Chain A
Amino acid sequence: MTSSRFAAVFLTAGFFFAAAPGAARSAGPLDDPAFAKVITCAACHGAYGNSRSDMMPIIAGLDPAYFKRQIENYASGRRPSPEMEPYAKEIQFLGLDQIAAYFAAQKRVPTPIRSSAEAAARGKTIAAQCVICHGPDGKGEAARLIPGIAGQPPGYLVQQMFLLKADTRDPGDPMLAAKKALMKIIPDGQFADLAAYYSSLR
């Protein structure tokens, strides 16, 4: 138990007996009308888009243009995903621009999933080929719709590498042609190391 949690419990106990009657509501998450539109996302993508699981990507802090392109590609089936295709259509119903802006504004908290330092070190040498697009720090380049992959969960990164290699993510998309060509020359056995490296970046 951390000291902050300890304090929270203590305050809670006091609060129960001493809640001020008719206390005015302070600024809360509902003040942003987008908050109520993204509650469904939290079941997989975590609070404020900061997934804590190994397989679900962090969507907090994603560039809004990149976010919108992915939702549109999910909805059209260009980026096939049985999970995301229906939800992409729900997002379009609720307001894609507003939801993209909401997640873009959330502070990204890197994945808590830890990989071994050895794997990350091996991944760093392989990553020499990736920096041209994803940058030396893995932060991507918004102007070219290249996502930041630093701090993403390793399980998600590995799964995407396999989808790109097999050309089942956005098949035929010229923007991804170089990336897919690169994935084809990286052996499957190195994907975990590469993911360990990028997930460890901060």
Chain B
Amino acid sequence: MNMMTRRDFLRSSGVGVGLGLGAGLGLSGCAGTMTGDIAPKSGRRVVVIGGGWGGATAARYIRIADPSIDVVLIEPNREFVSCPFSNLVLSGQRTIESLTLSYAGLRARGVTIIHETATAIEPDTKRVRIGQGYLAYDRLVVSPGIDFQWEQVEGLAAARDTVLHAWKAGPQTVELARQIQSMRDGGVFVLTVPPVAYRCPPGPYERICQVAWYLKQNKPKSKVIVLDANQNIVSKTGLFRAAWKAYPNIDYRASQKVIGVDTSTREVRTEFDRVKYDVLNLIPPQRAGAIAVQADLVGADKRWCEVDHVTYESVKQKGVHVIGDATIGLPVPKSGNVANNMGKAAALSIVSLLNGQAVPLMPPGNTCYSWVSDREAIAVVNSYKIENGKVVQIEQKLTPSQSVSVAQRAEGWRQSIWADMLS
């Protein structure tokens, strides 16, 4: 594996400073200090907003397919933390460090990374704003992930720093694990599942397995109450139902949309009920990341971005390609593997367009593993074709049952796809 660890990252950063690697490091700092043209463009340039599963892959594949194209990635986080496998942090099976990767591999491929937040997009002048400064582009990739609709749950906006979602792997994941570990035996862990569409359809149900597994081992008098806004388990339904037979501590309640939260009385409110919690994991309703809304890339629903199924160019803004969880309209789940595929297809589309060549048809694919215990996993796989310019599913296949063997392949997938994004 060529994957860099945190220590390698620190070491390579040090080398970067020694070289005066202004491209990667000198440009970071307070956005307020950036004015004018942050990095004047001399050749052809693609700017990528967001260095997650979609954006990191897009940046990497543009450099692979045509190293003469300058790629600038704007990503506020200095390190990449994998959402897939992060539910295993909640059960103590993994550490967050084991899911934390550096961007050094992308830098080594010539991607310039600016650790800032893009504040606006100006499609007419082909500029991305960062504070008072801007970056010019020929084509733009927007991979903003998701943001939360706090206002959909009464009391949540005011309590958003204390009510955890842990739906973006990082400090919240670690804090939720700590809260679960320090919960009294006999305590109630409440997890709420938002209405579709949301990031990672099977994610909440995998999380339920992991927390239930941990509590069964360590706090046998405790229970997990699941308030699901949906009518049934959204993904891998039969397989999760089968897995939950091992966890009598799960109390699953369908069609229970959370409409309010009160941290002083430690209760969540649904349309029909009030539920007391000791530890709460409220996964709020979601929409595309803020920049997509701000830049008017979202549709009439003000939530998700419609795109061309071949090039991922926004149907609303020319020259702007949107990928990953922020998109809607393709028959694909909001998964890391799909974002990775979209990143590649957008990258090769952009390279083809910038070189005046025909854009190849690149249908996506989805391989998605869920851990149902400390050692067993399940999977769903979807394949697709493109017909008349639209992505169409060929087949969906589930593993026949949960097994150690599937979990071993999940490990293989994790290693391979991380390298496919960041090495």
Docked pose: A18 CA to B296 CA in angstroms: 34
| A178 CB–B CB distance under 8 Å | no
Q: Residue A43 contacts which of B12, B110, B340 (CB distance < 8 angstroms)?
A: B340
CB pair A40 B341 closer than 8 Å? yes
CB pair A30 B398 closer than 8 Å? no
Instruction: State whether A39 and B348 are in contact (beta carbons under 8 Å apart), knowing that A20-B43, A25-B66, A54-B415 are contacts in the complex.
Output: yes
CB pair A87 B365 closer than 8 Å? yes
Docked pose: A155 CA to B341 CA in angstroms: 25
Q: How large is the interface on B (under 10, 10 to 19, 20 to 34, 35 or more residues)?
A: 35 or more
Most B Cβ at <10 Å: residue of A23, A29, A45, A55: A55
Q: Residue A155 contacts which of B2, B400, B408, B419 (CB distance < 8 angstroms)?
A: B408
| B30 CB–A CB distance under 8 Å | no
| A1 CB–B CB distance under 8 Å | yes
Tell me how far the C-beta of A85 lies from the nearest C-beta in chain B, rounded to whole angstroms: 5
| A189 CB–B CB distance under 8 Å | no
Return chain B residues, CB-CB under 8 Å to A19. 42-43, 68, 70
Instruction: State whether A28 and B417 are in contact (beta carbons under 8 Å apart), knowing that A19-B43, A40-B365, A83-B381 are contacts in the complex.
Output: no
CB pair B352 A30 closer than 8 Å? yes
B13-64 residues at the A interface, CB under 8 angstroms = 15-16, 19-24, 39, 42-44, 61, 64
Contact digits for A1-41, partner B, Cβ 8 Å, 1 yes 0 no: 10001101111110111111111111011100101110110
Instruction: State whether A82 and B348 are in contact (beta carbons under 8 Å apart), knowing that A13-B22, A53-B412 are contacts in the complex.
Output: no
Q: Residue B109 contacts which of A8, A16, A52, A162 (CB distance < 8 angstroms)?
A: A8
Contacts across chains A and B counted by CB atoms under 8 Å: 192
Docked pose: A44 CA to B409 CA in angstroms: 10
Q: Residue A39 contacts which of B16, B67, B362, B385 (CB distance < 8 angstroms)?
A: B362
CB pair B108 A12 closer than 8 Å? yes
Tell me how far the C-beta of A51 lies from the nearest C-beta in chain B, rounded to whole angstroms: 6
Instruction: State whether A25 and B19 are in contact (beta carbons under 8 Å apart), knowing that A40-B364, A51-B416 are contacts in the complex.
Output: no
Query: Which B residue sits closest to A43, measured CB to CB?
Result: B417
CB pair A86 B416 closer than 8 Å? no
Docked pose: A21 CA to B138 CA in angstroms: 13
CB pair B344 A44 closer than 8 Å? no
Instruction: State whether A56 and B43 are in contact (beta carbons under 8 Å apart), knowing that A5-B108, A43-B340, A159-B405 are contacts in the complex.
Output: no
Docked pose: A39 CA to B64 CA in angstroms: 12
| A172 CB–B CB distance under 8 Å | no
| B379 CB–A CB distance under 8 Å | yes
| A136 CB–B CB distance under 8 Å | no
| A201 CB–B CB distance under 8 Å | no
Tell me how far the C-beta of B169 lies from the nearest C-beta in chain A, rounded to whole angstroms: 19
Docked pose: A201 CA to B365 CA in angstroms: 33
CB pair A93 B395 closer than 8 Å? no
CB pair B345 A39 closer than 8 Å? yes
Docked pose: A8 CA to B385 CA in angstroms: 37
Q: Residue A86 contacts which of B2, B382, B420 (CB distance < 8 angstroms)?
A: B382
CB pair A54 B411 closer than 8 Å? yes
Docked pose: A5 CA to B21 CA in angstroms: 14
Return chain B residues, CB-CB under 8 Å to A159. 405, 408-409
Return chain A residues, CB-CB under 8 Å to B2. 52
Tell me how far the C-beta of A69 lies from the nearest C-beta in chain B, rounded to whole angstroms: 19
Return chain A residues, CB-CB under 8 Å to B394. 86, 89-90, 93
CB pair B417 A55 closer than 8 Å? no
Tell me how far the C-beta of A34 lies from the nearest C-beta in chain B, rounded to whole angstroms: 10
Instruction: State whether A9 and B19 are in contact (beta carbons under 8 Å apart), knowing that A26-B68, A28-B66 are contacts in the complex.
Output: yes
| B311 CB–A CB distance under 8 Å | no
CB pair B395 A89 closer than 8 Å? yes
Tell me how far the C-beta of A196 lies from the nearest C-beta in chain B, rounded to whole angstroms: 16
Contact digits for A103-130, partner B, Cβ 8 Å, 1 yes 0 no: 0000000001000000000000000000
Query: Which A residue sits closest to B348, measured CB to CB?
Result: A36
Return chain B residues, CB-CB under 8 Å to A12. 21, 23, 107-110, 112
Docked pose: A3 CA to B196 CA in angstroms: 49
Return chain A residues, CB-CB under 8 Å to B408. 55, 155, 159
| A176 CB–B CB distance under 8 Å | no
Q: Residue B420 contacts which of A13, A22, A23, A47 (CB distance < 8 angstroms)?
A: A47
Query: Which A residue sits closest to B12, measured CB to CB?
Result: A1
Return chain B residues, CB-CB under 8 Å to A6. 15
| B98 CB–A CB distance under 8 Å | no
Return chain B residues, CB-CB under 8 Å to A10. 19
Return chain B residues, CB-CB under 8 Å to A162. 405
CB pair A54 B412 closer than 8 Å? yes
Tell me how far the C-beta of A77 lies from the nearest C-beta in chain B, rounded to whole angstroms: 10
Q: Residue A16 contacts which of B70, B360, B396 (CB distance < 8 angstroms)?
A: B70
| B229 CB–A CB distance under 8 Å | no
Tell me how far the C-beta of B379 lies from the nearest C-beta in chain A, rounded to whole angstroms: 6
Sample 11 A-B pairs with CB under 8 A, ordered by A number.
A1-B15, A9-B21, A10-B19, A13-B22, A22-B44, A43-B341, A45-B416, A51-B412, A53-B412, A53-B416, A86-B365
